[in-house]
Amino acid sequence: MQKKRLDLTIFLTLGIVFLEVIFKVLSGSQLWQISFLSAFCFWLATSFLISFFASLFSRKINYLLVLTIFFLLFLLFSTEIIFFKVFDVYFSVADFGLADQAADFWRDTVTLILKYSYALVIFLIPFISTILFRKQIGFEKASANNLLSKILLLLIFIVLFQVSLLIKKENSFSGYQLYYKVNNNYLTTAKIGVIPARFLEIKRAIFGFEEAKAELKVAPKAKKEPTKEKSVIYNITDIDFTALAASENNGVLKNMHTYFASDTGTKQNEYTGYYKGKNLIVFMAESFNSIAVSQELTPTLYKLTNESFVFNNFYTPVMLSTLGGEFQELTGIYPSSLSSIWRKGTNYFPYGFGTQYAAQGYKTFAYHNNQYNFQSRDVYLKNLGFTNYLGCFNGLEKKINCYQWPESDIEMIEATTPDYISADEPFMVYYATVSGHMSYSWYNQMAKKHKAAVQDLAVSEEAKAYVATQIELDQALALLIEKLTAAGKLDDTVIALVGDHYPYAMDLATINELSSYERDATIEINRSNFILWNSKTPKTEVNKVGCQVDVLPTLLNLYGIKYDSRLIIGKDILSDEPGLAIFNNQSWVSDYGKYNSLTGTFTPNKDVVIPDNYVTDMNSVVASKITMGKLILEKNYYQRVMGG
């Protein structure tokens, strides 16, 4: 009598559920955030589909087919987890534009692969189990009746999947919304699973997909009692968006014109022109975060974050790694899948720092102490008006050691300040630093350099190494201040600095070792500092919420530069515009509270009165800002409405 074998569909289901659940655990997500019914129905349908095809042939061929599928799933889930650990976003085909970043930082990628090698081994378990238990699994060719039953069950679970999507259909970011109306790979992967998300992406690539047209909504203004204020002046130009909308036949452009017409813009305020004529040095600091700020170990960072303007509710959301963080700071726009457009340098950006400050008579400079053309930085910086950008291997290698990893921020400051510090004209300088880059171990040359300074910290070695890399940034800033002082330029110079993202190479537990409070993995992990410092500016605390997209409009207003605040998605953080920070999964923080899209929960701040329909309205505001940022790029919108 032939021994009864395990049903192939059951084996496949166990393997797929195992991979999906383990991925959730390894990526640090909460299992209860999954839309279990929808996910499980999809996984079962996938199992029946594979089982059907793996029952058409001989036992040997069916076995090899299942083995191949589990190996491909191993590659998929391994790629997903490493990509997530490298970039803190879930992988999608649209993110292939980031592949060269992983390739150029191959040491860090290899380090992370080794660090999470146990995960790769775990993802191999279904593949290995197929080999070990091949004699106990039913790989035989199925009868016609058996195949028919598989087809019927496949159809049943497809129907059940569709029905499950209807549960809480109208909720923001429900399974239904994600499957039919919203294009957010992070949420789809988190809530339904890796396999459904990849299926959905392939389906949309083949058949096309247009997100449901939600109501375009600008952020509501706070209602204030009328006062006898002097006449209000807005930071806007003479673009007539209403007239543009009336004469536009293209539906997308008409909606864009209408959206910008509905925004009154931000008001000029007591800080308009406050720094007019002063020099400006802007930093995009690699992986800088408030957890690195210490009076003992990073005294210059401590000084700069606690003097002049002090922003108490500032965030640096992770959006497409360094590329996305830099994009937000330099353009005031939330990024989407922007790699190819942004890196071509063909779009018109009239509010680029280089362009705007050069027009005011400033000499402009840009520097990066890593490979100058990494991710086309030489192209997009030129597009922002920096015509004399210098990095490693287009000239900076003659002045600093470009053959260590990561390179030194101190060396970059030492080598570049002579270019501008003695200029008769005011100067505007942009620095993209690299010393704080992962991985955080003693193989990191900047960490190793400052190892002795952090040895007494009661934290893990990884946390120590991270702080050590930030000591390099701290000492580079101290050197800059020293040189500005010696040249008599300190009082007439403003330093602005934000990080591109939090140090996502470290997991939440390691970050919380250094944090002064317990951070969550969705919102508070992104909390950081915005340094806006001048030696003569009195301490001014700002409690409004802000993030990287607010840097550009804030500086334009401080320098009295004419711009149209309606066209920049971020807003002057010193204005009375409502504060807002948006994250890559469309969670957000406002002056009223925090919304977590993964859980669908809103946590209001203490002692605030929440307006009616606030969360629903703000979800529309957030979606609109993201959509407009994407369309500004795709439609080269600035050129359409401003020329150039």
pLDDT value at residue 168: 74
125, 25 contact by CB (below 8 A):
no
Query: How many angstroms separate the CA atoms of 39 and 36, rounded?
Result: 5
Q: Which of 123, 161, 125 is nearest to 46 (CA)?
A: 161
pTM for the structure as a whole: 0.90
Mean pLDDT throughout 525-534? Answer: 97
Q: Which residues contact 393 (CB under 8 A, 6 or more apart)?
A: 371, 372, 373, 402
What would the mean pLDDT of 363-377 be, rounded to a whole number?
Answer: 95
How does DSSP classify residue 398?
A: G
3-state DSSP call for residue 136?
helix
594 pLDDT exceeds 80? yes
Whole-number Å distance between alpha carbons of 501 and 17: 32
Inter-axis angle of helices 194-207 and 8-26, to 10 degrees? 100
pLDDT of residue 339: 58
- For residue 573, the one-letter residue type is I
For every residue of 33-56, DSSP letters joined together read GS-HHHHHHHHHHHHHHHHHHTTS
Partners of residue 588 on adjacent β-strands: 582, 595
* Position 384 pLDDT exceeds 50: yes
Beta partners for residue 601, in sequence order:
596
| Buried b / exposed e along 449-484 (16+ C-beta atoms within 10 A) | bbbebbeebeeebbbbbbbbbbbbbbbbbbbbbebb
The stretch 601-626 carries a mean pLDDT of: 93
> pLDDT, tens digit, for every residue of 229-254?
568 999 999 999 999 999 999 999 99
Backbone angles phi and psi of 267, in degrees to 5? -80, 145
Residue 106's pLDDT is 62
CA gap 23, 637 in Å, rounded: 40
**Given pLDDT bands bounded at 50, 70 and 90, which one contains residue 33?**
low
Mean pLDDT computed over 346-354: 93
pLDDT value for 3: 66
Q: Where are the alpha helices (DSSP H) in 372-460?
A: 377-383, 409-416, 445-449, 451-454
Tens of pLDDT, residues 272-296: 999 999 999 999 999 999 999 999 9
The DSSP call for residue 240 is: -
Helix axes 251-261, 614-634, angle to 10 degrees: 120
The rounded distance, in Å, linking the Cα atoms of 303 and 293 is 9
Facing residues of 6 across strands?
137
Under a CB-based contact definition with an 8 Å cutoff, are residues 11 and 136 in contact? no
In the predicted model, is pLDDT for residue 104 greater than 60? Answer: no
Residue 225 has pLDDT above 90, yes or no: no
- Residues of the chain with pLDDT > 70, as a percent, come to 93
Give pLDDT, residue 40.
87
Cβ neighbours, 10 Å, residue 243:
11
Each residue's pLDDT tens digit, 429-439: 999 999 999 88
Band of residue 537 on the pLDDT scale cut at 50, 70, 90: very high
256 token code pair: 């864009």
pLDDT of 98 = 56
- pLDDT average, residue stretch 441-464: 97
Q: What is the mean pLDDT of residues 395-411?
A: 97
CA distance 592 to 225: 19
Which pLDDT score, from 0 to 100, does residue 353 have?
Answer: 95
Above pLDDT 90, what percent of the chain? 73
Mean pLDDT of the 1-30 span: 86
| Residue for token pair 């921020």 | 409
Identify the band that residue 112 occupies on the pLDDT scale cut at 50, 70 and 90.
confident
Cα distance between residue 285 and residue 308, in whole Å:
19
Residues in the chain: 644
Does residue 268 have a pLDDT over 60? Answer: yes
Q: What pLDDT is recorded for position 96? A: 56
Cβ atoms < 10 Å from Cβ of 174: 21
What b/e sequence results for 186-216 when a residue is b if at least 16 CB atoms lie within 10 Å of its CB, and e otherwise?
Answer: bbbbbbbbbbbbbbbbeeeeeeeeeeeeeeb
- 303, amino acid identity: K
Long-range Cβ contact pairs of 585-593 (< 8 A, separation 24 or more): 585/184, 585/186, 585/187, 585/190, 585/522, 586/173, 586/184, 586/187, 586/619, 586/622, 586/623, 586/626, 587/522, 587/523, 588/618, 588/622, 589/313, 589/315, 589/523, 589/545, 590/545, 590/618, 591/544, 591/545
* Encoded tokens for 498: 């934000």
Q: In this structure, what are the phi and psi dihedrals at residue 408, rounded to the nearest 5 degrees? A: -90, 125
Nearest-angstrom CA–CA distance, 237 and 231: 17
Terminal CA-CA length for the chain: 82
Cα 66 from Cα 57, distance rounded (Å):
12
Show the tokens assigned to 162: 């569709």
- Characterize the bridge pairing of strands 390-392 and 493-499: unpaired
**Rounded CA separation 178/161 (Å):** 13
pLDDT band at 1 (very low <50, low <70, confident <90, very high): very low
Residue with tokens 């400033």: 362
| Residue 589 φ/ψ, nearest 5 degrees | -125, 135
pLDDT in tens, 125-164: 999 999 999 999 999 999 999 999 999 999 998 999 889 8
Question: For the ranges 227-241, 285-299, 447-461, 576-590, which has the lowest average pLDDT?
Answer: 227-241
Is the pLDDT reported for residue 169 higher than 80? Answer: no
Cβ within 8 Å of residue 106, ≥6 positions away: none
Residue 223's pLDDT is 55
Residues 498 and 531 sit within 8 Å (Cβ to Cβ): yes
Residue 159's pLDDT is 92
One-letter identity of residue 70: F
